[in-house]
Amino acid sequence: MTSTNLHQLFDEQGQSPWLDNLRRNWIHNGELQEWLDKGVRGITSNPSIFQKAIEGSEDYTEQFGQLLGEGKSIEEAYWGLVVTDIEDALKLTRPIYDSSDRLDGYVSVEVDPGLARDQAGTEDAARGLWDTIDEPNVYIKIPATKEGVPAIANMIAEKRSVNVTLLFSVERYQAVMEAYISGLERAEGDLSAISSVASFFISRVDVEVDKRLEAIGTPEALALKGKAAIANGKFAYAAFEATFSGPRWEALVERGAQVQRPLWASTGTKDPSYSDTLYVDTLIGPNTVNTIPDSTLSNFLDHGTVSRSLDADVEDAKAVLTKLAELGIDLREVADQLEDEGVASFEKAFDSLIESLTEKAKTL
């Protein structure tokens, strides 16, 4: 098999490239397997991805009709469609999970986004998805809201693997890492089957910060465009390295614990004036994951740069964050806004899909 940039990312740099997309026809026409053969090592999904997949094809119509015929509600039928795709994708990635000693080969499915501010509801939904799918290489996605953080700790304590999503600030990321570690400390016995990643969103930070820099409009402000997200990611990685070291962590390693790897999410380039592989090339480092849209994956396969970059130029990153603060741009406030927008976006996608399925049910 020909070695690609994606193989080299993992073999040479210790970073796992995942695919941030999932469609039923990809599972059955061999396209998903082709991505895995090219070096993809895991798959992530979210409500927006399923909205596009289900509304954009007839691949789901037959099963949807069957589920309705069994007396399922529209929402129950939706989850039936989602679980089927996740289970079929898990079969394709299971060899990676087995051969990597549980490092990769995961497929992520997100709880109902309407539960983002509901700890108890999130926990019930996470347990339900985990128990229904019942495969060791599934990740249940839980948003890193204030209400989500304690839910994450409880799921880890119950030995359920979690992909923490919608992370925008280093401060919240530190709370998530603490939730993971405290959850491990509460879990009984061997910890080696518990896994987690923390999805730190990248490009959306630049979209919002660039907008604010353009509003300021000075040469100093405009010179910072396209730099905030990468600087934020570098500081998140430094926090990761500091957290997963020392006596407290080593005591968990002795019980089989794995680090909760940072996962760079939202890594497709939104601004066409930036490199189309910007958020892959600049965030390469060991013990990390980058979940990448298929279009960006194709670009990286063609002309991406495989070179350790995540812990380079840290002083420059610090200077960027300092200058942003001096200009009055508060990244914590930006993160709060982006979290609210992210939750609302996923809720809108979910609600829109339920509406379209309701209309489709009338025609069946």
Number of helical (H) and strand (E) elements in the chain, helices listed first: 17, 7
How distant, in Å, are the alpha carbons of 63, 165, 179, 320, 345 from that of 113? 23, 11, 20, 33, 9
Separation between Cα atoms, residue 331 and residue 228, nearest integer Å = 9
Task: Return d(Cα 54, Cα 50) in angstroms, integer.
Answer: 6
CB 127 within 8 A of CB 160: yes
**Which of the 8 DSSP states describes residue 244?**
S
- For 197, the 3-state DSSP assignment is strand
At CA 337, angle to CA 162 and CA 119, rounded to 5? 40
- Among 109, 185, 102, smallest CA distance to 136 is for 102
Cα angle, residue 108 at apex, residues 102 and 114 outer, rounded to 5°:
145
Q: What helix, strand, coil percent values describe the chain, rounded to 5?
A: 60, 10, 30
Chain centre distance of CA 2: 28
Question: Which of the residues 72, 91, 141, 227 is marked catalytic?
Answer: 141
- Confirm whether 141 is a catalytic residue: yes
Judge residue 312's burial from the number of C-beta atoms within 10 Å of its C-beta, 0-12 exposed, 13-18 middle, 19 or more buried: middle
Helices (H), 134-227: 148-157, 170-186, 203-216, 219-222
Which DSSP string corresponds to 308-326? --TTSSHHHHHHHHHHHHH
For the annotated catalytic residues, the residue numbers are 141
